[in-house]
């Protein structure tokens, strides 16, 4: 595996999902999308919409910077109260 692949959003999504022992269909249901669409996110064949990015950050308790490959540590998602 190439170093760039380790930082890809799709690779990180797959790792986080597998750590929780979930299927793609489970996450697709969370996002209210199809398993096919979600599979394309994990294969980096389709861009992740912002509303899905936010949902996944909250679900996995990681920062958007981590999911986007900007940082290597999965920092906690910090939810700010309004």
7-59 pLDDT, tens per residue? 899 999 999 999 999 999 999 999 999 999 999 999 999 999 999 999 999 99
User: Which CATH number applies to 3-67: 1.10.260.40, 3.50.50.60, 3.40.605.10, 1.10.3470.10?
Assistant: 1.10.260.40
CA distance 79 to 61: 10
Q: What integer pLDDT is reported at residue 65 of this predicted model?
A: 92
Given a cut of 90, whether residue 6 has pLDDT beyond it is no
Q: So where are the chain's domains?
A: 3-67
User: Please, what is the Cα angle at 81 between 15 and 76, to 5 degrees?
Assistant: 25
Please count the other Cβ atoms lying within 10 Å of the Cβ belonging to residue 81: 3
What is the pTM assigned to this prediction? 0.85
The whole-number pLDDT of residue 36 equals 98
């Amino acid at each position: 595996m190439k170093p760039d692949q380790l930082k890809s959003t799709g690779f990180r999504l797959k790792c986080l999902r597998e750590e929780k022992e979930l299927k793609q269909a489970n996450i697709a249901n969370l996002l209210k999308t199809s398993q096919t669409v979600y599979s394309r996110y994990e294969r980096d064949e389709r861009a992740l919409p912002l509303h899905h990015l936010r949902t996944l950050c909250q679900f996995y308790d990681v920062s958007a910077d981590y999911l986007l490959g900007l940082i290597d540590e999965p920092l906690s998602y910090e939810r700010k109260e309004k």
